[in-house]
Structure 1
Amino acid sequence: MNNPTLAGVLEILRGSVWVDLTHTFHTDIPHSPAFEPASRTVVSTIERGADGALTGFLSHDYRHVGQWGTHVDPPAHFVPGLRHQDDIPVTEMVLPLAVIDVRRHVRADPDYAVTDDDLAQWENRNGRIPAGSFVALRTGWSSRWPSQEKMLNPGPDGLFHYPGWSREVLTTLFEDRGATACGHETTDTDTGISVSRGDSSLERYVLGTDHYQIELMANLDQVPESGAVIVATWPKALRGSGFPARVFAIYQKDE
């Protein structure tokens, strides 16, 4: 389409595939053991009066940490002085999506961390990661949802065993490729073994570059490695340190 109008772009989007990358959240979902369980109580309900007419309205009181369910981690979550969630502009919420698939490695080794070779193979197939991209790590780990036990995967050694990023790949993405954000299916940026030992250095690195991340993503197996667009949104809480997000991808069907 030459010089498409916004109406024309919308028509293209309506004919594309839309994939929800967000887990439905409730009080019993998997979460970091650093956080207390959530609660939800009914504040008011809809009633039917003697005359049959409806009165009142349904409302709930939600109590949970910001990092609940599929959620955004803004830079200020780990690094004082950097951006909070309300500082991130909407222009950073609609991005090209690149998905690095390491499911084969994770099936053999749940402690797997993505490597430079995984990134090189992606770029051999798809070209260089576009600047301004959202890069997601597809591990297949979201298939373990909604089991807390399976998501954390504790072993007899007392450590959690789940996959994660590596410093080498993250450095390339943010310092060389110009990525805008990253995301993953697990509760943490770092591998479970690292987190179990109190090491969250990779999350601190990502947020320290003044970029955001999305954790506990869903349905990454339903989007292509390249060619999709991601929309990541969240409430604009003043000086917020993280919040449940609604994230989805759009891609065009093959002709």
Structure 2
Amino acid sequence: MPVLRMLLDAARSGSVRIVDLTTPLQESTPILELPPPFANTSRFRLEELSRYDDRGPAWYWNDIHTGEHTGTHLDAPNHWVTGRDGLDVSQAPLTTLVAPVAVIDKMAEAGKDADFLLERSHVEEWVAEHGPLPEGGWLLYRTGWDARSDDAAAFANADENGPHTPGVSPTCAKWLARETPIVGFGVETVGTDAGQAPALKPAFPCHSELMGAGKWGLTSLRNVEQLPPTGAVLVVCPLPIVGGSGSPARVLALVEE
């Protein structure tokens, strides 16, 4: 039987489960909010054009207003100064957008410490248990933060010192970017870096290292807990915005039962 026919039959029978990892886009969808004087992205908004009325009697449609980095979205290498000469979001290789995925679960640690940082040793322990990171694949970082995604204040978890959300240490980010075979890194938080990343040395290590190495980021993921540590396939569907630094994306995973 042809491979694609087998895949369709498996999805229909439930032997391959399709998991939606995407945060729905609406005005309340949390966004990254930078302090002054930095510019901020737009919140998602629908502007009605017609709804079965004199503006269009038989059709309903809207303009959409949003930023490239709103909701579940893909970060392209050219998003960061270290990758400024890298690929834009329209140039994402199809083998990056459909690729194997590994999941590391640090929900317990992040539940105890909102500023928890993933270290190289944590990933090496995962590799010792589950095998090597996938060649040309993705690593998703499970922290349980998606449970907060319907509450913008809880999602940001900010105080007078700024947001407190889990992230990745500079040493780990450098290692993931330069020494592992992954093409991308995904998180449940609003950005791939920790909330306190501006205070790290160097600042924003995930953005700096991964984008500088030509790798990709995914943020604001949901339902990562439904994926096994290895064996699933990630399907990332951004808008092919020419010259774009990123795009809202529908992100799915195929999980063999």
User: TM-score, normalization: structure 2?
Assistant: 0.88
3-state SS in 2 of match to 1:68: coil
Residue number in structure 2 paired with 1:125? 129
Unaligned runs of 5+ in 2: 35-39
Aligned mates of 2:227, 2:43 — CA distance in 1 = 31
- Partners of 2:95 and 2:9 lie apart in 1 by 21
**Identity percentage over the alignment?**
26
Paired letter, 1:221? E
Contact 1:160 / 1:196 at 8 angstroms: preserved in 2?
no
Q: Which has the higher strand share?
A: 2
Confirm or deny that 1:220 pairs with 2:213: no
Residues matched between the structures, number? 245
Is 2:70 the partner of 1:68? yes
Give 2:237's aligned residue: 233
Cα distance change of structure 1 residues 235 and 112 upon mapping to structure 2, 3 Å threshold? same
Q: What is the alpha-carbon distance in structure 1 between the residues aligned to residue 164 and residue 147 of structure 2?
A: 15
Q: For residues 9 and 248 of structure 1, what CA distance do their matches in structure 2 show?
A: 15
Query: CA–CA distance in 2 between the matches of 1:44 and 1:196?
Result: 47
Could you tell which deviates more after superposition, 158-167 or 190-199?
Answer: 190-199
How far apart, CA to CA, are the structure 2 residues paired with 1:43 and 1:9?
A: 39
Consecutive unaligned residues of structure 1, counting only runs of 5 or more, are 49-53
Residue equivalent to 1:191: 194
Q: How far is the alpha carbon of 1:117 from its aligned partner?
A: 2.4
Deviation at 1:4, TM superposition (A): 5.6
Q: Once the 2 structures are TM-superposed, how far is the Cα of residue 182 of structure 1 from its aligned partner?
A: 0.9
For residues 216 and 240 of structure 2, the distance between their equivalents in structure 1, rounded to whole angstroms, comes to 14
1:174 deviates by 3.2
1:168–1:11 distance in 2 versus 1, CA, 3 Å: farther
Superposed structure 1 runs of 4+ greater than 4 Å apart: none
Q: Which residue of 1 aligns with 2:9?
A: 11
Distance of aligned partners of 1:130 and 1:39 in 2 relative to their CA distance in 1, 3 Å threshold: closer
Structural mapping, 1:1-255, within 5 Å? 5-14=3-12, 15-34=15-34, 35=40, 36-47=42-53, 55-78=57-80, 79-155=83-159, 157-195=160-198, 199-253=203-257
Bigger mean CA offset, 118-127 vs 168-177 = 168-177
Larger radius of gyration: 1
Tell me if the contact between 2:234 and 2:254 (Cα under 8 Å) persists in the aligned partners: yes
How does the TM-score come out when normalised to structure 1? 0.89
Mapped to 2, the partners of 1:67 and 1:152 lie a distance apart of 15
Structure 1 counterpart of 2:46, one-letter code: R
C-alpha distance in structure 1 between counterparts of 2:57 and 2:65, whole Å: 26
What is the CA-CA distance between 1:47 and the residue it aligns to?
A: 4.1
- Tell me how far apart the structure 2 counterparts of residues 12 and 45 of structure 1 sit (CA, whole Å): 39
Residues 192-230 of structure 1 deviation map (CA, whole Å, 9 limit, x = unaligned): 112478932321211111111111111111111111111
Opposite residue 117 of structure 1, the aligned amino acid is S
